[in-house]
Amino acid sequence: MKVAVYYSNDDIRIEERPQPGITDNEILVKMKASGICGTDVMEWYRIKKAPRILGHEMAGEIAAVGKRVEGFKNGDRVFVSHHVPCYKCHLCAQGNYTACASLHTGNYDPGGFSEFIRIPEENVRYGTLILPEKVSFEDAAMIEPLGCTIAGQNQAGLKEGQSVLIIGSGVSGLQHIQLSKIKKATVIATDIDKYRLKKAAEFGADHVINAHNYSIEELRRINNGRLADIVIVCTAAKQAIADAISSVERKGKILFFAVPNTDIAIPSVRFWRDEITVTFSYGASPDDLKKALELINSGTINVRGMITHKVSLSNIKQGFKLVSEAKNSLKVVVIPDNN
């Protein structure tokens, strides 16, 4: 079978690998759509484990079912989560599923940028969802990123009537905008790119600010004299750290949904005096993914409007270039060569 092997952002090779076999408790899925995540092009993060087959936002069609698998059959249209918790450890018992060691170590074989993927027993049990008829494979490739955004929103604890500053208006920023508007928050979005600022407004932001011209004075001007109750950082740009720290209101919260490849210096005296919380979000639980599918199926969250490009598996290098350049593109989805 054909696979795309990541060596670096500029070196992604199409290679042939044997099609994986499955055990009695596993399923084999034929990839129909697999999204390129922003973390896939974070070279400092990915290159440490290269070469490898990436892709963790995958939906497809079941091509084979193990003898002991129940609830699934050949031809079923499914989304499959790359990571699942064990539901047995101390962290899972507290509901901290994204901190479970199994969630950070288990995955399907190989990654989603391949023609066929073996789904281990745990992922079959906890991470495989049947797609409703009106949810396309490309829509389903957005379940994982939306699930992660839902998990981040849960961390942030945004409430009705609060203001939220979303720094970075790529795919994750646009999802945070939509989820924040559901909660009837006032949404201010920033980005350095005019295309993404336009999209931020289209997806519901009440105010958009070019990050090159951003200031807390401008934030106060459009936010009734106040700083933001919640700040959500959706970019790895270092300037975003300073903007987030300066923009959070007393008793507010900063959520680092994306992180730069550097340590973050916190003004501890001010944050102590003003009781400011800093938190991070990584991954999504199975419940977050189920909620994401519900929101996509109901049309509550517009994911289809964020899919700007589709590239074939053999042309995946172009997709990585689009995501890395972060210009006139949002979500780039890889599809099979024969689609």
For residue range 318-329, what is the model confidence (pLDDT) as tens digits? 999 999 888 889
CATH number of the domain bearing residue 85 = 3.90.180.10
Same domain, residue pair 330 and 269? no
Residues 266 and 329 in one domain: no
Q: Is residue 291 one of the residues assigned to a domain?
A: no
Domains in the chain, number: 2
Same structural domain, 84 and 108: yes
Cα–Cα distance measured from residue 221 to residue 250, given in angstroms and rounded to the nearest whole number:
17
* pLDDT (tens digit per residue) in 206-264: 999 999 999 999 999 999 999 999 999 999 999 999 999 999 999 999 999 998 888 99
Q: Are residues 239 and 318 in the same domain?
A: no
- Secondary structure of residue 210 in the 3-state scheme: strand
**pLDDT for the residue numbered 74:** 97
- Does residue 184 sit within a domain? yes
Question: What digits encode the pLDDT tens for the residues 48-92?
Answer: 888 999 999 999 999 999 999 999 999 999 999 999 999 999 999
Q: Residue 30 pairs with which residues in a beta bridge?
A: 61, 116
250 in the same domain as 134: no
Q: Do 26 and 44 share a domain, yes or no?
A: yes
Q: Is residue 73 part of a domain?
A: yes
- Are residues 174 and 66 part of one domain? no
Q: Is residue 308 part of a domain?
A: yes
Mean pLDDT of the residues in the chain: 95
pLDDT on residue 45: 82
| Domain final residue, candidates 234, 265, 280 | 280
Burial class from Cβ neighbours inside 10 Å (0-12, 13-18, 19+) for residue 41 reads buried
Q: Are residues 26 and 128 in the same domain?
A: yes
Looking at the structure, tell me whether residues 233 and 170 fall in a common domain.
yes
Quick one: CA dihedral 126, 47, 60, 135, positive or negative? Answer: positive
166, 176, 236 from 247: Cα distances, Å: 11, 17, 17
Q: Quick one: pLDDT at residue 44?
A: 80
Identify the residue whose tokens are 């484990």.
49
Q: Which residues contact 301 (CB under 8 A, 6 or more apart)?
A: 146, 175, 178, 179, 292, 295
Q: What is the mean pLDDT of residues 94-118?
A: 93
Do 125 and 94 share a structural domain?
yes
> What is the reported pLDDT for 323?
93
**Residues of the domain holding 8:** 2-142+303-335
229: domain CATH number is: 3.40.50.720
Does one domain contain both 59 and 168?
no
Give the pLDDT mean for 16-23. Answer: 96
Shared domain for 234 and 317, answered yes or no, is no
